[in-house]
Structure 1
Amino acid sequence: MTSRPGGRPKKAMTLMRIAGIPVRFRASWFLVSAAIVALFGPQVLRIFPELGALAYLVALGYAVLLMFSVLAHELAHALAARSFGWPATEIELNLWGGHTEFHAHRATPAKSLAVSLAGPAANLVIAGLGLYLSGALALTGVTALLVEVTVLVNFFVGVFNLLPGLPLDGGRIVESAVWAATGDQDRGMRAAGWAGRLVVLALLAGLAVLVVSGVREVSLVVVVVAVMVSFFIWQGASENVRVANARLSRRR
């Protein structure tokens, strides 16, 4: 769930437009939705056995809530970019969540940081509102479960994206700090890319400790997802380092 400037044509289905911005879905997004239904359908059925096959419809609600959470995240990026006069060209939802593409004109460290943090902020606001409503309305049953899922998903998406390393949004904190200190965005990008690699190593080390120590049972699904996400972050971080090094090399 990242944002990035610029853009290249991609093969994705445009299913809607929000504020004039095309929202495109890759086929991988629908695979993720199907996996969510398959994984969480039995879990919902155990909690509410009276639902029968409808439990899988509730699990589909999980996927829909994830879609809207990611969409809110990316839309916040797009609208923040627009406020600085940076036109957003698309929002895309895919296997790894999503990203927003926009053209950044006359970017500064502060503006870049503001646009990047808008996404996690939107998710944390939604999580806070969900938590408040859950307590204020004394919800029960399936409704309470879906609100709880909304809170957890948005909290996770918001906090995870604040980890300080590219391609996560929190990587812009590192990039902007180095950019402001050196006056060089490419040096900031390289530092944030290396920070992203360190984030991956920290995540994998934490996962290994949990698995080996046995302090808490970790399911195979969690391990597989964690490794896949780590691989994605490592690739994105390495690409940022490569691009930054290439730009710095050309300038020399």
Structure 2
Amino acid sequence: MTSRPGAGARRSARMRIAGVPVRFRASWFLVSGAIVLLFGPQVQRIFPELGLLAYAVALGYALLLMLSVLAHELAHALAARSFGWPATEIELNLWGGHTEFLAHRATPVKSLAVSLAGPAANLVIAGLGWYFSGLFELTGVAALLVQVTVLVNFMVGVFNLLPGLPLDGGRIVESAVWGATGSQDRGLRAAGWGGRVVVVLLLSGLAVLVITGVREISLVVVVVAVMVSFFLWQGASESIKVANARLIRSR
């Protein structure tokens, strides 16, 4: 879930929200289907009386994830718009989503504000969900869905704050180095290396858990973690490549 400045709209949008074109890639529907198949049996174990309706509840999981990601990306788009940077498209895909916008006269502070808007939106939603879950005595499926809303938004918000591109936390690193050195490209390179460090730490932590057996880790979690790490490494490496090329040209 990242904001990506400088790109233009390349495809026709399926819908618009707050004036921003929103596209759902086919891979997003594959993710939704996988969530239903993975969590349907889990819901059945919790509420055996539901029968096959448990899969409808699992579909609710997928819809809540979609809304959480969409809120994240809309926050990026609206923050960018506040600086006069028009958002050209929000895309939801296999890896979550990204927002494309045209950044004019960007500064470290503006870039930082746009980057923080997404995680902030998720953490606010998680906080509100937690507050209202304590305010009302919910039970059954309603309580479960509220818990999922809180957990999903908290995880999306915190994960995106990790300090490395292509995560939003990488833009924080980029803005800090950019402000200190006056060079956005140096900031971009530092954020790319930060992304590589994040991947190494994530995979190392996963390996420790699997090898030591401190906590049982399912094969699905391992596969997803490796796939996400691959995606993050690719994005971080591309950022480093672009930054190095720009720095060489500027010499």
TM-score relative to the length of structure 2: 0.98
- Cα drift, residue 10 of structure 1: 4.4
Q: How does 1:195-214 map to 2 (within 5 A)?
A: 195-214=194-213
Partner of 2:166: 167
Q: Secondary structure at the match of 1:14?
A: coil
Partner of 2:101: 102
CA shift digits 1:123-175 (9 cap, x unpaired): 00000000011110011000000000000000000000000001000011111
CA shift digits 1:165-220 (9 cap, x unpaired): 01000011111111011100000000000010000000000000100111111111
1:6 and 1:48 mapped to 2: Cα distance? Answer: 48
Q: Aligned in 2, Cα 1:222/1:145: closer, same or farther, shift over 3 Å?
A: same
- Cα drift, residue 251 of structure 1: 1.2
Partner of 1:5: 5
Residues 1:70 and 2:69 are matched in the alignment: yes
Partner of 1:179: 178
Q: Aligned in 2, Cα 1:171/1:153: closer, same or farther, shift over 3 Å?
A: same
2:219 and 2:113 mapped to 1: Cα distance? Answer: 37
2:8 and 2:225 mapped to 1: Cα distance? Answer: 28
Q: Secondary structure at the match of 2:45?
A: helix
Structure 2 gaps of 5+ residues are none
CA shift digits 1:24-47 (9 cap, x unpaired): 010000000000000000000000
2:8 and 2:103 mapped to 1: Cα distance? Answer: 15
TM-score relative to the length of structure 1: 0.98
Structure 1 gaps of 5+ residues are none
Q: Secondary structure at the match of 1:245?
A: helix
Amino acid of the structure 1 residue aligned with 2:45: R
Partner of 1:191: 190
1:6 and 1:179 mapped to 2: Cα distance? Answer: 17
Amino acid of the structure 2 residue aligned with 1:131: W
Amino acid of the structure 1 residue aligned with 2:176: A
1:173 and 1:126 mapped to 2: Cα distance? Answer: 21
- Cα drift, residue 8 of structure 1: 4.8
Partner of 2:214: 215
1:30 and 1:234 mapped to 2: Cα distance? Answer: 24
Amino acid of the structure 2 residue aligned with 1:40: F
1:121 and 1:203 mapped to 2: Cα distance? Answer: 22
Q: How many residues align?
A: 251
Q: Secondary structure at the match of 2:42?
A: helix
2:203 and 2:14 mapped to 1: Cα distance? Answer: 36
Partner of 1:83: 82
CA shift digits 1:63-118 (9 cap, x unpaired): 00000000000000000000001000010000000000000000000100000000
1:9 and 1:72 mapped to 2: Cα distance? Answer: 20
Asked if the contact 2:9–2:89 (Cα under 8 Å) also holds between the matched residues in 1, the reply is: no
